[in-house]
Amino acid sequence: MRIALGQFQAIRDKESNAARIADLSARAAAAGAHLVVFPEAAMVAFGDGEPLWEPAEPLDGRFVGGLRELAVRHRIGIVCGIFEPADGQRVYNTAVAVSPEGELAAAYRKIHLYDAFAERESDHVAPGAGELGVWEQGGTRLGLMTCYDLRFPELARQLIDAGAEILVLPAAWVRGPLKESHWEVLVRARAIENTAWVAACGAVGPRYCGGSMVVDPMGVTVARAGEAEQLVVADISRERLEQVRRLNPSLRNRRIPIGTLRQPASVA
């Protein structure tokens, strides 16, 4: 499978963002990609105090409908970050996956909200209920995570246990102290510990660090973007995944099911 990462800077204008997505999708298809991944909040950018519920749309709304039309036109799968209406004036931060046939293949509502580094995503975003976003394309099984989820290895492991061979991560990774380093280390860690491919597409702009990456199951970065708008393409092979899992069968070597660890005896 050939995957493209469409790293760009979303703004508050949905129509402009849709046009950038359409252009990058066409370029990805021309490069032979089977799937193109866009950042978190690609539909409309997080605003400084501006409400997200106003531009939010349901999954059967116009924006996702446009993604479905693009997928059919270019015969390419699309992953993109959108906002759905939730409770009151909050939204769901949702990653959608559209098949090359134009079907909504998966939708994942972000579980872990970015209440860290002096940010409070939960003020305007409601957490998802915990349903996994897993789907198949071209005989390959993929799983969705979003941005801050990267810091929680248990979600990645659940996707792997659900059969995912590729972890797909739309993100808007905020710049900050050592944040760029965290991004690279954590993307590679999720690949290494799960012996899986990771395709992580980040937003760019004044607030975000970009650095979109495709990392192989051994933790090797096979494609990487810089800090500006860019389309990067990488080939992902099941053969490499199988080779690494034979060499490092860490998934088979697990011995302690979660929840069975005993607390240490108290010391007198």
Q: Is the pLDDT of residue 24 over 70?
A: yes
pTM of the entire structure?
0.95
- Is residue 49 very low, low, confident or very high in pLDDT (cuts 50, 70, 90)? confident
Contacts of 178 (CB under 8 A, 6+ apart): none
Higher-pLDDT residue of 265 and 223 is: 223
The tally of CA atoms less than 13 A away on the side-chain side of residue 155 is 25
Q: Is the pLDDT of residue 76 over 70?
A: yes
Domain boundaries, the chain: 2-247
- Is residue 268 very low, low, confident or very high in pLDDT (cuts 50, 70, 90)? very low
The owner of tokens 């995957």 is 3
**Interval 111-144: pLDDT, tens:** 999 999 999 999 999 999 999 999 999 999 999 9
Q: Could you confirm whether domain 2-247 is CATH 3.90.79.10? A: no
Residue 88: its pLDDT value, please? 87
Higher-pLDDT residue of 47 and 189 is: 189
**Interval 29-44: pLDDT, tens:** 999 999 999 999 999 9
* Residues with catalytic roles: 40, 110, 147
The whole-chain average pLDDT of the chain stands at 95
**% of the chain at pLDDT higher than 70:** 96
Residue 120: its pLDDT value, please? 95
Higher-pLDDT residue of 211 and 267 is: 211
| 215-248 burial code (b ≥16 CB/10 A, e <16) | bbbebebebbbeeebbbbbbebeeebbeebbeee
SS3 string of 193-236?
A: HHCCEEEEEECECCCEECCCEEECCCCCEEEECCCCCEEEEEEC
Distances (CA, A) of 263 to 219, 254, 257, 258, 268: 33, 19, 15, 13, 15
Q: What are the structure tokens assigned to 124, written together?
A: 């305007």
Q: What is the identity of the amino acid at 175?
A: R
Contacts of 265 (CB under 8 A, 6+ apart): none
CA distance 67 to 49: 27
The runs of H, that is alpha helices, within 75-171 are: 153-161
The mean pLDDT value for 200-208 works out to 97
